[in-house]
Structure 1
């Protein structure tokens, strides 16, 4: 097998397409597309957001945010929310024909069209300026639940950002069983 060196690149796979939603000082919903973030602990998320983002300002103001996972059905809308800034376009959710419902758990919106959302309370900024939030609820539209009542990854059709090609790909398919298949080597 031959390997090719690429140097320092932000190639991380899979890289979920996170949709970060907040309310601003006037109660307007805003949402941005962010690829750099993930789980920080079992009940916490980390977001790598610039201080200049409207979303960052809103998180500090309201002490809350939601994280939805973009899906294949809404890839165009998700991409649009990453192309325009809430600092300049105050009605970008309306322009993308997306709708919001206020979270029951935090002062932040749920984007109705994205079926899986983490509802988060702001905890702190790290010394690097990354945002840490506590997951206080996970809400899922029933359309993505399987027969067992749990999230079905195939129904969710979450997308991942491919930083090598600047494309989105669908995350799908069961290929193994965690905490079981490796027992073959015991």
Structure 2
């Protein structure tokens, strides 16, 4: 990355009447590199969408683009050609699980192949499905945390919006207070620049709290 030192130019710039921020006077200003329009976002969750087809066969899909839409609602970006899309339309329900470090391989696999042309996709994935008790969609034993959702709407741009009717988690990923422990879940994120999966790191702060010290 290109950089240029500031101190030797500070006197000239200040003499011209400009006020320099402290960080410029104290060191090196790093120049930014432009990459153009890219679908890069840090971090991106690895979401596994679980559905049943019209015959009750479970399916799982790795959805790269998704997130919270509104309070108690989730959004997924799915094209019409996906089997998952057809299943959601047919059943009106789906689950969203979070891939973990231990499940990176099967999580990646279900994003590489389609149930449209791989009938034994689930058998090859090694994932074990069990029916959700709240929606007409499968949960997968290997993923310890999931959102259970009912379809709200599906627009022409391929945006699926679902109501989160329940969040469930295995007891093995709960802390001593019965809350979900991120370290025990051990979720992974997708690095869209390097095309790799990465684990989450350690806690660095407390949300809706640490910023108060700057007020």
The normalised TM-score by structure 1 is 0.97
* Map of 1:79 onto structure 2: 108
Residues 163-178 of structure 1 correspond to what in structure 2 (within 5 A)?
Answer: 163-178=192-207
Question: Do the aligned residues in 2 keep the contact of 1:115 with 1:144 (CA within 8 Å)?
Answer: yes
Q: Does 1:89 align with 2:137?
A: no
Q: Secondary structure at the match of 1:151?
A: coil
Give how far 1:71 is off.
Answer: 0.4
Question: Do the aligned residues in 2 keep the contact of 1:18 with 1:35 (CA within 8 Å)?
Answer: yes
Distance in 2 (alpha carbons) for counterparts of 1:88 and 1:3: 44
Larger RCO (CA within 8 A; separation ≥ 6): 1
Question: Do the aligned residues in 2 keep the contact of 1:71 with 1:159 (CA within 8 Å)?
Answer: yes
Q: Does 1:138 align with 2:159?
A: no
- Unaligned segments of structure 1, at least 5 residues: none
Question: Do the aligned residues in 2 keep the contact of 1:117 with 1:139 (CA within 8 Å)?
Answer: yes
Q: Secondary structure at the match of 1:87?
A: coil
- Unaligned segments of structure 2, at least 5 residues: 1-29
Distance in 2 (alpha carbons) for counterparts of 1:73 and 1:134: 28
* Map of 1:54 onto structure 2: 83
Distance in 2 (alpha carbons) for counterparts of 1:171 and 1:128: 31
* Map of 1:21 onto structure 2: 50
The normalised TM-score by structure 2 is 0.85
Q: Does 1:39 align with 2:62?
A: no
Distance in 2 (alpha carbons) for counterparts of 1:144 and 1:29: 24
Question: Do the aligned residues in 2 keep the contact of 1:19 with 1:33 (CA within 8 Å)?
Answer: yes
Distance in 2 (alpha carbons) for counterparts of 1:75 and 1:33: 11
Give how far 1:129 is off.
Answer: 2.4
Distance in 2 (alpha carbons) for counterparts of 1:48 and 1:148: 35
Q: Secondary structure at the match of 1:22?
A: strand
Distance in 1 (alpha carbons) for counterparts of 2:201 and 2:116: 34
Larger radius of gyration: 2
Residues 84-163 of structure 1 correspond to what in structure 2 (within 5 A)?
Answer: 84-163=113-192
Q: Secondary structure at the match of 1:58?
A: helix
What is the Cα-based RMSD across aligned positions, in Å?
Answer: 0.9
Distance in 1 (alpha carbons) for counterparts of 2:126 and 2:135: 23
Q: Secondary structure at the match of 2:86?
A: helix
